[in-house]
Structure 1
Amino acid sequence: MNNPAMRDTFEVANSPPDGISSLHFSSQADYLLASSWDNNVRIYEILQSGQANAKAMYSHEGPVLQAQWSPDGTMIASGGCDKAIKLYDINTGQSRQMGTHDQPVSCVRWVETGQGQSILATASWDKTLKYWDPRQPNPAMSVNLPERAYAMDTKKQLLVVGTAERHSCIINLSNPSTIFKTITVPLKFQTRSVACFNDAAGFAIGSIEGRAAIQYIDESKSSNNFTFKCQRSGNNIFPVNAISVNPVYGTMSTAGGDGTYNFWDKDAKIRLKFSDPVGGPITCSSFSRTGNIFAYAISYDWSKGYTGADGKIPNKIMLHACKEEDIKPRNKGTKR
């Protein structure tokens, strides 16, 4: 690569030709899926060399806003602007529509109900959260949200939905039909991203103002809540489009409209790595199951509206080989 600082970063061949809306590594194998505004979901096999091969693709009838692997790696669920929820079977290579929302489906996550099975949770701009058993044609239950869903994540028994008007809806999946608590996040502007901690003790949430917040569920730990600046350059402020938590180390990444990504140790409250600009806004990201590969997508993020869509920003999926010192937690007090 031309930039020596990115020699450990590889571009994925056959990246989507339109905006890339989500990335997600399988927890069971070296596969990465990507959803796109070109109406498709693509599956890539990650090779030992760091390169990737396109393996499969299936389509929606509108832009796909999010796609996720099932915990066992055998299914993919996706949703988008066609209001449809689709399932793709890895073994058969067949996709089918499972259900719909009344408005675009913005969030898709497989959740653990505590009963030894995984079900699908979908959230929409129609202000509802729905749970689905893939074996049934109708939702198992539906939950009314205070506003349109913009971001969602889950870990263990924790499900967090970030909505319009700065609401964060916290759900204990042992009682999935009820919102356990709704809080107003301490960030002043629209929520863009959310990621739950590995221990399910809390979550990180990012907004369009170039800031992120660390929020714990247990009120006795509220003194550990804090906000911090991330996607900013001088006086310029950019949206925090993506937050990902490393599955091995529990450290986290933020990435966004400034075209950079950061790795953070939230417990020590330090930044572990700051990247050079990558050539365009970063719209989404994901860590591999072993935590040593960081995937991110370069695409226009619409933060400057229609006038900013001049066709000059490429659409690329990049794979970065992480150094241990960039993703491993530091002792508190260590400076970098």
Structure 2
Amino acid sequence: MAETPSEFKLKNPPMDGVSAVKFGPNSSQHLLVSSWDCTVRLYDVISNNMRLSFPQQAPVLDCCFHDSVRAYSGGLDKVLKTFDFNTNAERSVGMHDAPIRCVEFCPDANVIVTGSWDSTVKLWDPRTPCNAGTFSQPDKVYTLSVCGDRLIVGTAGRKILVWDLRNMGYVQQRRESSLKYQTRCIRSFPNKQGYVLSSIEGRVAVEYLDPSPEVQKKKYAFKCHRVKEQGKEKIYPVNAIAFHNVHNTFATGGSDGIVNIWDGFNKKRLCQFHKYPTSIASLAFSQDGSVLAIASCFMYEQEEPPEVTEEAVFIRNVNDQETKPKS
């Protein structure tokens, strides 16, 4: 695929599937990438070079920045680790009883949140760092998203739980996904009013947190990431969702290798990018919304791997025309 000034591939990509891409808290320059190749990598996307790589004992399933010089990660070895970019040091913070699937930082509550296949969410105090509580979930945690001081957790069995991070004594809301199939990804609106949820069956739901009936009336779901081939519809998992912090619009990435940008409030697709080499595994907008990181890798959902499986992270400069709601 030809590179354009608006889009290029990162040099030194991971050697195996990318599990997560995350931009630094205040930058469109630093990108954290976790991978099944047992590394966490830090890239400078402006100069297109890999600044640091932290080798791990097992595949890494998620990562996040805490601030501009520290990051966290977790994966199949069940250990939450923290990295200091200035000293190039790494330390273990604590453990789950099964692989860690999700790692997020909540700035409003100043906690690191991990979700695991052991059916718990744990909170970690980044100041010490140490465990600040363990909270049972109804099933394996597949995805979670921080929404202000609330936490939205998606588990197996299509369960959705809304927690208040300032008071984890009880679950604030228990919901069931409005999509019929397994939940793949949840991300919350930057305006904190709701969240977007995707499933393995080419659908996305836009949900609102306010339980009042008039607000709940606004929720809806739509089909996407489906391709007609020889009169048959092929339906693909929607693996990734990323929000534009400025415009409240969002991108979705599917196993069809396509990235779409949506205006969730006006129920419109704003644009669709060209097809990428393989499935879209993860997406992240920079804080100012000027750059979108797109991880493309083979995700073993098709029966046969392609002849060439290419792991790549594309950096795309996006503009208002692609990401801003049409007035």
The normalised TM-score by structure 2 is: 0.94
Q: Secondary structure of 1:165's partner? A: helix
**Within 5 Å, which residues of 2 pair with 1:151-162?**
151-162=143-154
Q: Is the 8 A contact 1:142 1:177 kept in 2?
A: no
Stretches of structure 1 that go unaligned for 5 or more consecutive residues are 332-336
Aligned-residue offset at 1:137: 6.2
Aligned residue number for residue 227 of structure 2: 233
1-side partners of 2:304 and 2:171: how far apart? 38
2-side partners of 1:311 and 1:41: how far apart? 27
1-side partners of 2:304 and 2:112: how far apart? 35
Q: Percent identity?
A: 33
Aligned residue number for residue 48 of structure 2: 52
Q: Is the 8 A contact 2:10 2:48 kept in 1?
A: yes
Aligned-residue offset at 1:302: 2.3
Q: Secondary structure of 1:247's partner? A: coil
2-side partners of 1:101 and 1:292: how far apart? 36
Q: Secondary structure of 2:301's partner? A: coil
**Match for 1:289 among 287, 301, 322?**
287
Aligned residue number for residue 2 of structure 1: 2
2-side partners of 1:135 and 1:7: how far apart? 41
1:108 aligns with 2:100: no
1-side partners of 2:2 and 2:169: how far apart? 52
Aligned residue number for residue 147 of structure 1: 139
Stretches of structure 2 that go unaligned for 5 or more consecutive residues are none
**Within 5 Å, which residues of 2 pair with 1:187-266?**
187-220=179-212, 221-234=215-228, 235-266=233-264
Aligned residue number for residue 33 of structure 2: 34
1:132 aligns with 2:124: yes
Aligned-residue offset at 1:303: 1.8
Q: Is the 8 A contact 1:20 1:284 kept in 2?
A: yes
CA-to-aligned-CA distance 1:279-328 (integer Å, 9 cap, x gap): 11110010012201111111112223xx4345622100001111211101
Counterpart AA for 1:243:
I
**Relative to structure 2, which stretch is displaced further, 136-145 or 120-129?**
136-145
Q: Is the 8 A contact 2:20 2:34 kept in 1?
A: yes
**Match for 2:163 among 167, 171, 176?**
171
Aligned residue number for residue 325 of structure 2: 329
1-side partners of 2:129 and 2:242: how far apart? 32
2-side partners of 1:246 and 1:261: how far apart? 14
Aligned residue number for residue 320 of structure 1: 316
2-side partners of 1:181 and 1:258: how far apart? 33
Q: Is the 8 A contact 1:157 1:200 kept in 2?
A: no
2-side partners of 1:158 and 1:197: how far apart? 12
**Within 5 Å, which residues of 2 pair with 1:83-94?**
83-94=78-89
CA-to-aligned-CA distance 1:63-115 (integer Å, 9 cap, x gap): 00000011x3221010000111000012211111101100000000112454x
Q: Is the 8 A contact 2:185 2:197 kept in 1?
A: yes
Aligned-residue offset at 1:176: 3.0
Aligned-residue offset at 1:136: 4.3
2-side partners of 1:17 and 1:162: how far apart? 29
Counterpart AA for 2:293:
A
CA-to-aligned-CA distance 1:153-175 (integer Å, 9 cap, x gap): 11311211111011111112221
Counterpart AA for 1:284:
S
Counterpart AA for 1:95:
E
Q: Is the 8 A contact 2:45 2:315 kept in 1?
A: no
Aligned residue number for residue 69 of structure 2: 74
Q: Secondary structure of 1:308's partner? A: coil
Residues matched between the structures, number? 320
2-side partners of 1:166 and 1:186: how far apart? 8
Aligned residue number for residue 92 of structure 2: 97
The normalised TM-score by structure 1 is: 0.91
2-side partners of 1:148 and 1:316: how far apart? 29
CA RMSD of aligned residues (A): 1.6
Aligned-residue offset at 1:134: 3.0
How has the CA–CA distance of structure 1 residues 315 and 96 changed in structure 2, closer, same or farther, with 3 Å as cutoff?
A: same
Aligned residue number for residue 63 of structure 1: 59
Counterpart AA for 2:62:
Q
Aligned residue number for residue 308 of structure 1: 304
2-side partners of 1:269 and 1:97: how far apart? 44
Aligned-residue offset at 1:181: 1.1
Q: Is the 8 A contact 2:10 2:45 kept in 1?
A: no
